[in-house]
Amino acid sequence: MSSKNILDSIKEKISDFMYVGPRGIVGVDIGLSAIKMAEVALQSDGSYKIVNYASVNLPEGAIIEDEIQKEDEIIKALQECFKALGSSNRFACVGISGPNTLIKRLQLAGGSDEEVEDQVSWEAEQYLPFPIEDGNISFSMIGENQGGGVDVIIGAAKKTVVTSFKEIVERSSLKVKIVDLNASAVLNVFEVVMGDEIKSTGKTWILMDLGAQKTHFMIYKNGVLVFFKEINIGGLTITEEIQRQMGVNYDQAESLKIQGDGSGNIPEEIIEIINQVLDTFFAELKKTIDFWLSSTAEEAFDGCVLTGGSTQIPGLTEAMEELLETEVQVLNPFQVMSYNKNNISENQIDEIAYKGVCAIGLAMRSVPK
């Protein structure tokens, strides 16, 4: 071991030893529109408390899909966000998503652990958008399937994506302990907030993260994730359409969409643009749902839960209810989680509830020993 490596490893041991906070981790969600960080503590009664939260907006096009475009701007925003978080915890769990990641349920023939592992590799290879040797794959068992085999859920990501997100967070001075998939972080919060209601046998729920660059569409049945799809439409699609049709820049378009004319009213022509994009989005959603319904014996859903900044689009929840013919609600972590009133102000609560879920889910991961 070179002297530098020895020094580094000692430094790491010392900082581990000196670590005095709750043995938690900072959840870092680098979304297209903003970085969000959260810190969550597991209470002795098993419930969660949101200890710290912060978000910092990113400039236009800082990341595109899973590729980092504006490195310096992201590092600056990460540092600013961490400062605003006000935490002494330097361990992070960073989330990734995008075309070089995969979440999929696989039906396998089953057998010994080794046989199942081989089957996962064989099967996963067909769906991975990159050569299997370039990726990290993990899987968890769901249970036996009707054909006598086993079902598993695999999570995979291209190593270069994992490395680039890990490196950029580490350059902002946090120590990355875990890289997780954003969708699985959202799922964590969904399971905690909804509790037993979603776990009963025979119940089928839709869970969606309506972000800026994409929508994560998930179906949760009998207490497990059974279907996942990333739809390439999100809030940014509306913003870009406002830019194009109104001849304004990104920031102006975001502001027209969110704040409207300054007195809280969204102008008629903006509503029209929003509705045009929603039509396309709903058509895509309907295709996805029809595909799923036709490949299973399902007929209806027991409920739909939404999260993400684009849940705030005026009229979206109602339109979604009509499309899905089921009750639609926005996931609210505060329903079951308490929060530290010294660090989190009342006027942050709403934003955290719809934009912070992914960061909260990432922060719920415990630090590996």
Ligand X SMILES: Nc1ncnc2c1ncn2[C@@H]1O[C@H](COP(=O)(O)OP(=O)(O)OP(=O)(O)O)[C@@H](O)[C@H]1O
Piece of the chain touching Mg ion by CB under 5 A; list 27-35, 120-128, 218-226, 228-236: 27-35
Residues 6+ apart with CB under 8 A from 328: 303, 304, 305, 306, 317, 320, 321
In angstroms, the CA 69 to CA 33 distance is 13
In this chain, which of 31, 135, 155, 361 binds Mg ion, going by CB under 5 A?
A: 31
CA-based torsion, 168, 173, 179, 181: positive or negative: negative
Stretch that binds ligand X, among 25-33, 158-166, 171-179, 283-291 (CB under 6 A): 25-33
- First and final C-alpha spacing in the chain: 22
DSSP designation for 133: G
Rule CB under 5 A: say whether 361 interacts with Mg ion. Answer: no
Q: Does 356 bind Mg ion (CB under 5 A)?
A: no
Q: At closest approach, how far in Å is the CB of 307 from ligand X?
A: 7
Task: Give the one residue of 24, 26, 33, 241 binding ligand X; rule: CB under 6 A.
Answer: 33
DSSP string, 289-358: HHHHHHHSS----SEEEEESGGGGSTTHHHHHHHHHTS-EEE--GGGT-EE-TTTS-GGGHHHHHHHSHH
Coil, helix or strand at residue 194: helix
How many whole angstroms separate alpha carbon 254 and alpha carbon 212? Answer: 11
Using rule CB under 6 A, residue 95 touches ligand X: no
Q: Which is nearer to Mg ion, 24 or 31 (CB)?
A: 31
Residue 151, strand partner residues = 107, 143
Query: Taking the CB of residue 251, how many other CB atoms lie within 10 A of it?
Result: 13
Which one of 95, 135, 235, 333 is in contact with ligand X (CB under 6 A)?
Answer: 235
| 308 is an interface residue for ligand X by CB under 6 A | yes
Q: Which is nearer to ligand X, 57 or 107 (CB)?
A: 57
| Rounded-to-integer distance, Cα 359 and Cα 37, Å | 6
> How far apart are the C-alpha atoms of 339 and 40, rounded to whole Å?
9
- Asked if 256 interacts with ligand X (CB under 6 A), we say no
Residue 211 as a binder of Mg ion (CB under 5 A): the answer is: yes
- Of the ranges 82-90, 186-194, 233-241, 276-284, which one interacts with ligand X (CB under 6 A)? 233-241
Residues in contact with 16: Cβ distance below 8 Å, sequence separation at least 6, in sequence order = none
Site for ligand X (CB under 6 A): how many residues?
21
- The answer to whether residue 254 forms part of the interface with ligand X (CB under 6 A) is yes
| Residue 361 engages ligand X in binding (rule: CB under 6 A) | no
- Which partner, ligand X, Mg ion, none, binds residue 89 by CB below 5 to 8 Å per kind? none
Instruction: Choose the contact partner of 28 out of Mg ion, ligand X, none; CB within 5 to 8 A by kind.
Output: none
Least distance from ligand X to the Cβ atom of residue 150, Å: 32
Q: Minimal distance in Å, beta carbon 350 to ligand X? A: 10
Partner from Mg ion, ligand X, none binding residue 333, C-beta < 5-8 Å depending on class: none
The pattern of x and - marking residues 192 through 231 that bind ligand X according to CB under 6 A reads -------------------xxxx-----------------
